[in-house]
Every structure is written in structure tokens, then in C-alpha cells.
Amino acid sequence: MTVSDQRNRACKKLLADVHAITAKEGLTPSALHAMKLKLVGLAAKKQLFPLADFEMPLAEGRNHPLLVEDNDGHGLYLTISRTGKEAAPHDHGIWCVNAAISGRELHKFFRRTDNMARPGHATVEQVGEVMIEPGSGMAMADHDIHSTVVVGDEPAIGLALYGYALLRFPSVAWYVPQFSSVRTTPSRRHTAMA
């Protein structure tokens, strides 16, 4: 069996485990934690993810689909982010779980503090952070807010599991704390389902 076949089998097993977890208890904090542990376990099998199988990004980052379910299913990706790549605070609108294969990425978590009464206006405050490196991961519920930055001198390579595939993402909210502003990207839900 080739490495690609082994990887595909392991990814299918992960998603079967994820579906079993959510079927048993729904999308609870403990379910997200259990999914994170499963993803960390898969990321530890580095032999399944040789860099020769995945093209490096030309710019800051790249997502390689590993297993994307049909219809409204989940999306599992191998992510590669170059040193220094940053993402401002944002809300995916859907849950996600990340785990590191190699490298280090700092995730900061925020909560919104305004009353959402003024369009385009938002204030957020940091409420925590975690360094994602081999042997660790993170989980976020729907509408949690985080920012990321790759630290150190090597790319951050990891696994990302989303409640929807990237092509079917809802609107993403991007926050700019220094200007107390927020902007949203268009939802991909309707165009992807058409």
C-alpha cells in the first residue's frame, strides 16, 4: 500500500471517528476536545504527510485538500504557512480543529465586547492564546474569534478540520482591533450549493 493510500485510509478513519463523536454528543466543548485529540493523533503520523507530496506555497500559505465530504460535509486539509504569515482576528462562522505536524503557530483568542448595534463597528479583547506545535492542537466552536501568526524559522505544517469544506464556508468576519472595525466576506454557502 502506498503512502497516499495509507494517508487516505487514515483520513477516512478520522472523519468516521469525528462523525461518531458528534452523533453521540453533538457539537459540545467535550466533543470538540475529543476531535482535537483525534487530529493531534493523526498529525503525529508524520510519515503519512511527506512534504514531497505537497507543493509549498508561493506566497504566505496554502491549503491542500485531504478529504472533502460531499454536500454539507466536513473538510480536512493539510495546511502550509510560511514563517511570519499572519491572519488578523477572524470568525470562520463554523467550528474548526487544528493540529501541528511541524513548525509553530501562535493562536490568540478573542471575544467581542461591543453590542453589535453599529454596522462595521466592533471591539474585541484577547482572552487567551495557545502555541500550536507538534503534539498539540486547538479547537474552536462556531463564531469563536482567533488570530494566527507563524513563529520561528520554519513553516508551520498542520492539519485543519472544518465543519464545512472551505468551498462552502459561511461569511467570515475579520476584525481590526486598532480601528474598532469589522468587515465580512461574502458567504460561499449559496454559490457552492447551487
Q: What is the pLDDT of residues 33-85, one digit of tens each?
A: 999 999 999 999 999 999 999 988 777 888 999 999 988 889 999 999 999 89
Spatial contact of 97 and 79, defined as CB atoms under 8 Å apart: no
Give the residue with greater pLDDT, 178 vs 194.
178
pLDDT value for 31: 97
The predicted model gives 148-154 an average pLDDT of: 94
Spatial contact of 17 and 73, defined as CB atoms under 8 Å apart: no
For the four alpha carbons of 105, 166, 176 and 117, in that order, the dihedral sign comes to negative
Neighbours of 103 (CB within 10 A): 21
- Can you give the chain as a three-state secondary structure string? CCHHHHHHHHHHHHHHHHHHHHHHHCCCHHHHHHHHHHHHHHHCCHHHCCHHHCCCCCCCEEEEEEEECCCCCCEEEEEEECCCCEEEEEECCCCEEEEEEECEEEEEEEEECCCCCCCCECCEEEEEEEEECCCCEEEECCCCEEEEEEECCCCEEEEEEECCCHHHCCCCEEEEHHHCEEEECCCCHHHHHC
pLDDT value for 87: 92
Mean pLDDT for all residues in the chain: 92
pLDDT value for 78: 97
pLDDT value for 69: 92
pLDDT value for 156: 96
pLDDT band at 190 (very low <50, low <70, confident <90, very high): low
Residue 183 β-bridge partners: 174
pLDDT tens for each residue of 1-20: 899 999 999 999 999 999 99
Q: Any idea which of 32-36, 58-62, 94-98, 158-162 has the lowest mean pLDDT?
A: 58-62
Residues above pLDDT 90, as percent of the chain: 75
Whether 194 shows a pLDDT value over 70: the answer reads no
Cell of 10: 487514515
Q: Any idea which of 26-30, 76-80, 89-93, 168-172 has the lowest mean pLDDT?
A: 168-172
What structural domains and CATH numbers belong to the chain? 3-193 (2.60.120.10)
> What is the C-alpha to C-alpha distance for residues 104 and 136, in angstroms, rounded to an integer?
10
Spatial contact of 96 and 76, defined as CB atoms under 8 Å apart: no
Whether 112 shows a pLDDT value over 90: the answer reads yes
